[in-house]
Structure 1
Amino acid sequence: MRLVIAQCQVDYVGRLTAHLAPARRLLLIKADGSVLVHSDGGSYKPLNWMSPPCWITEATADDGRVLWIVANKAGEELRITIDDIEHDSSHELGVDPGLVKDGVEAHLQELLAEHVHTLGDGFTLVRREFPTAIGPVDLLCRSAEGVSVAVEIKRRGDIDGVEQLTRYLELLNRDPLLAPVTGVFAAQQIKPQARTLAVDRGIRCLTLDYDKLRGTDSSEFRLF
């Protein structure tokens, strides 16, 4: 991983345009090729980024400043214009053992894989923990119509989970063997804001009943 602290401005050119005015920022260039631009506040999320596969070329801007052009196959560009570099270092992190998920969340994944029909009639499981360059998708399934479906599973579904699934879908849809890939955001509880964002991005939401998936749901002793 390469860590660069620089005074820079960042411009994204692609499906839309976005501009970050000059400021001191942290630039992360990961071994998988991804490039992330961070500030020192706001949240842990990058201000902008480019997911792999992408590549960096160095050029000179019209005003003489150093210009990094991060491009991908879709023709999108992250243009980082650098005024000054304060720190530049590279580090070998080695192989990461991966995230150990919460027991209930991991169990939800296992149960939903076993009862994949919960997603819809005719659904079949392709693979659990389907690998991508930015992490594994919880479930990759196929609908009755043969469409690939990526499923992200959470105990509590919030906006970050929708953003995570959005990044997976963006990457998976670049694979001609899988595209088109649709998404399902599945959780025991889904926050209204997350549901609104998911629907806006064409992602279906599914509320999971943990007890029902476990087969312990019974109405025998219920009054209502």
Structure 2
Amino acid sequence: MRLVIARCSVDYAGRLTAHLPSAPRLILVKADGSVSIHADDRAYKPLNWMSPPCTLKEGTGEEEGVWTVVNKAGEKLIITMEEILHDSSHELGVDPGLIKDGVEAHLQELLADRIETLGEGYTLIRREYMTAIGPVDILCRDAEGQTVAVEIKRRGEIDGVEQLTRYLELLNRDPHLAPVRGVFAAQEIKPQARVLATDRGIGCVVLDYDALRGIEDDKLRLF
């Protein structure tokens, strides 16, 4: 990964156009070819970015200080450097991936064993279905035979929906699986995450941990 802190302006030219005026920013160039520009706020979200596959060309001569990033659709991200404050590269190696806590891991195991919880006629393809960007918790088929990717969280928040969105984008490129739809499953789903998931056509399922384990509700009942 290459980390560059620079005073720069950024222009995007594609289906739309966008301009970031000159300011100090962090530029991340990852080994997968992606380039993203960050400010010192917005949490993990970049101001602008280019997803792989794309190419980065650093200008020379009269174009020195101008970076041009082009993706396969011909869209361009043009970064004009005014002053570079920091430039370093680091080899991070292969990431082992997110290790789920005990509850999430157990939820995945239980749901895979009781896949009909998602709906009648569902069948399991496999748990931990590996992709180039990490494992999908559960891959299954619904009653109509459509492929369904399930992301499981103990607490469902926006970052989980974003993670599932990335998996769906990749899985839908596979003609043997497409079309693939998503299900976001958690013990608790935050309202903002539910809104984002619904907007992206992703279904939401609230999981009852005790019910999956076969434990009866201990509340008093009349009958």
Q: Is 1:79 paired with 2:38?
A: no
Partner residue, 2:10: 10
1:69-125 per-residue CA deviation (whole Å, 9 max, x = no partner) reads 1414xx263503222333222211223333221110111111111111111222222
Displacement of 1:182: 0.8
The 5 Å alignment of 1:207-218 reads 207-218=206-217
Q: Which residue of 2 aligns with 1:20?
A: 20
* Contact in 1 for aligned 2:164/2:182 (Cα 8 Å): yes
Q: Distance in 1 between matches of 2:133 and 2:81?
A: 30
- In structure 1, the partner of 2:150 is 151
- RMSD over equivalenced CA pairs, Å: 2.7
> Structure 1 residues 30 and 105, CA, compared in 2 at 3 Å: closer, same or farther?
same
- Change in CA separation of 1:30 and 1:44 when aligned onto 2, cut-off 3 Å: same
Q: What amino acid is the match of 1:26?
A: L
* Preserved CA contact (<8 Å) 1:195 1:205: yes
Kindly state the Cα deviation for residue 214 of structure 1 after the two structures are TM-superposed.
0.8
1:24–1:223 CA distance, 2 compared to 1 (3 A): farther
The amino acid of 1:160's aligned partner reads D
1:41-80 superposed matches below 5 A:
41-52=41-52, 54-58=53-57, 64=63, 66-72=66-72, 75=73, 77=75, 79-80=77-78
Identity of aligned residues (%): 69
1:17 deviation in Å? 5.1
Could you tell me how far 1:158 is from its partner in structure 2? 1.6
> Would you say how many aligned residue pairs link Structure 1 and Structure 2?
220
Q: Deviations over 1:21-56 (max 9, x none)?
A: 33222222222333332222231333333343x121
How does the TM-score come out when normalised to structure 1? 0.84
CA distance in 2, matches of 1:15, 1:186: 34
Find the counterpart in structure 1 of residue 35 from structure 2.
35
Question: For residues 46 and 136 of structure 1, what CA distance do their matches in structure 2 show?
Answer: 24
1:134/1:17 Cα in 2 relative to 1: closer, same or farther (>3 Å)?
A: farther
What letter corresponds to residue 134 of structure 1 in structure 2?
I
Q: SS of the counterpart of 1:94?
A: coil
- Alpha-carbon distance change, 34 to 83 in structure 1, aligned in 2, over 3 angstroms: closer
Q: 1:139 maps to which residue?
A: 138
- 3-state SS of the aligned residue for 1:131? strand
- 8 Å Cα contact 2:50/2:69 also seen in 1: no
Secondary structure, in 3 states, of the residue corresponding to 1:183? strand
SS at match of 2:5: strand
2:91 matched to which residue of 1? Answer: 92
On the 8 A contact 1:15/1:76 being kept in 2, the answer is no
